[in-house]
Structure 1
């Protein structure tokens, strides 16, 4: 049964434990590229480094390319309700929270694909 992790670190630990971390990275790369926001997270990237790079990418999108940021959320299918609940007063914190929501949604996709294949 799918249980949604409560934070980024636990999510990445779960992906490693389930041996689906590489699939998670591939899904991130795929969806970012579909949104024309090219990223190329290498399969060898550490969970800590992935967390940092994703956070930086989201922060830059919010700050400088807001329309592209919204398009990315749409492509990934991040819950609009969850986004609306976030406090946008601190962009660094907001980018961190959005990064987690993105990882959570991508993890759902990867987990369900693996579970129901």
Structure 2
């Protein structure tokens, strides 16, 4: 029996994805869901984990600042927990976008992990 371990940080999540040989599938899932939300992010397959973290953070930051309706639609399409979003402090947009990027990556990882195991 497999057990899903909830990642505690983006670094932890990306390390687990690499360890499970699912990093490429994680990138595919991110690209797919951002495209579904009409907000393509186009992350190349050879993107390093540190760069992936930055790309997602920057994209979320720009969406929050300039395209808030599209940001909300992205969260809906990815199926990020509304209660988790409501717990975040929105006073610093840079900090908020980093936290949201983690929630997005965590949900994407969950999809990839479950699809691979079951």
The correspondence of residues 35-46 of structure 1 with structure 2, limited to 5 A, is: 35-46=37-48
Q: SS of 2:90's equivalent?
A: coil
1:99-110 aligned at under 5 Å gives the runs 99-110=101-112
Number of residue pairs aligned between Structure 1 and Structure 2 = 116
1:90 matched residue in structure 2:
92
RMSD over aligned Cα, in angstroms? 0.3
Q: CA offsets, 1:14-69, max 9 Å, x none?
A: 00000000000000000000000011101100000001111000000000000000
TM-score by length of 2: 0.98
Query: Which position in structure 1 is the counterpart of 2:49?
Result: 47
- Unaligned 5+ runs, structure 1: none
Q: CA offsets, 1:60-87, max 9 Å, x none?
A: 0000000000000000000000000000
State TM-score, norm by structure 1.
0.99
Separation in structure 2 between the aligned mates of residue 109 and residue 54 of structure 1, nearest angstrom: 17
Structure 1 residue runs of 4 or more that deviate by more than 4 Å after TM superposition? none
